[in-house]
A and B are shown apart, each in its own frame.
Chain A
């Protein structure tokens, strides 16, 4: 690490700062640090969703390349680095599966990403990520299970319910409880 580099850790704030540094001055060292932290986790996420390791690694590469190219669109007051990178990986995965399914040519599926956000409502920054992580760890087991399935099984509510042998209403209410608890964790910091 060069002594001039102000960013050394892998906490949320320094990861966000890496993206800002890429946007501001094409900081390759910051990119390398982001890559080392996120690429293996993006790969894990995609493998959880059923991708084979080679395909997951290729999409993780694409994800970090997109981070480099679109760094200027990242707003650290609006989202944590992990949130932004998660949405990029998710969108690339959707684009890829759409191309594989030979559907219509895909446009950007997430136009809301660049859409207007109400600044005072928008999620800000890295303390939120810590709050969410802590709240996730305290969720009751059955709620944590549906949250994990929702994000890592690539299935809508209806299929999760079928897999668990639960009524759809039960799955919906568990997920609603979990999300409101997580939302409550975010609300703590709000005045």
Chain B
């Protein structure tokens, strides 16, 4: 089933131009793997990129550039790392996410685990969050923006239901307590500009441990 909630076109164009930071790129890349419609939009924007690149005046290359290139293609290609597949019931994710899921899970609360994927000096971070069926995350808001993609299961945020492949952006204007619904656990891939801002004592207790 195709996702129902999509990144807006400006994010898709930013993806195509290469302007997104690593975390946003990863989240939107995972959405594209699940969404033929958004993939088409990105492919169209990439075609614009290719056409624009073709219109640029040719830069001068070093005199031996072609000879060097012809020598390089004779060298054996280094073995490409084999990509790791995630669980079969997840939306497809890149190897670094699969690796985090298997090696870096941290217990956060009953039924909840977090697996950090990356953390940058400015506070930007990406991570996986798993919440058991029927459970809520503590009430919180955000500093800066957060992008979230459902890899498995469903959650509701207010009245809106998010299922596999669905994308959402949250910022400091939302104050919410999303809840996993349905029969199975909910696993999400998240990229955030900075840490969550907990709004209740549960969150304030649990946040320092898990680093989200």
Binding site for B on A (CB under 8 A): 28, 31-32, 35-36, 39-45, 47-48, 53, 56-57, 60-61, 64-65, 68-69, 78-87, 89-91, 93-94, 98, 101, 103-112, 115-118, 121-123, 128-129, 132-133, 136, 147-148, 150-152, 154-157, 172, 175-176, 179, 182-183, 186
Contact = CB atoms under 8 A, between A and B. Distances in A.
B44 A182 contact: yes
15 contacts: A43-B61, A44-B59, A65-B72, A78-B43, A83-B46, A83-B51, A86-B46, A86-B49, A104-B117, A104-B118, A115-B92, A117-B36, A121-B39, A175-B13, A183-B44
A147 B58 CA distance: 20
Residue from the set A42, A81, A109 with the largest chain B CB neighbour count within 10 Å: A109
Given A65-B69, A121-B36, A108 B94 contact: yes
B210 interface: no
Contacts of B72: 61, 65
A47 to B, nearest CB: 6
Interface in B121-161: none
B32 A115 contact: yes
Contacts, number: 205
Interface of B: 9-10, 13-14, 17-20, 22, 25-26, 29-30, 32-33, 36-37, 39-40, 42-62, 65-66, 68-70, 72-73, 77, 83, 92-96, 117-118, 120
A182 B53 contact: no
Nearest to A65: B72
> Which label, helix, strand, loop or mixed, suits the secondary structure of the A interface?
helix
Contact of B17 (A35, A36, A151, A183): A151
Given A44-B57, A82-B50, A109-B29, 5 more contacts: A104-B22, A112-B42, A118-B36, A122-B40, A133-B54
> Which label, helix, strand, loop or mixed, suits the secondary structure of the B interface?
helix
A164 to B, nearest CB: 15
B48 A154 contact: no
Contact of B69 (A64, A128, A175): A64
A118 B69 CA distance: 34
Contacts of A157: 10, 13-14
Given A111-B29, A154-B19, A80 B50 contact: yes
A129 B73 CA distance: 28
Contacts of B60: 40
Nearest to B126: A104
A136 B36 contact: no
A150 to B, nearest CB: 5
Nearest to A180: B9
Contacts of A61: 65, 68-69, 72
Contacts of A94: 18, 22, 25
A28 B65 CA distance: 15
A150 B18 CA distance: 9
A41 B56 contact: yes
A78 B14 CA distance: 21
The 9 closest A-B pairs by CB, nearest first: A82-B50, A40-B58, A83-B50, A112-B32, A86-B50, A43-B59, A44-B56, A118-B36, A104-B118
Contact of B73 (A31, A43, A112, A154): A31
B36 A82 contact: no
B59 A179 contact: no
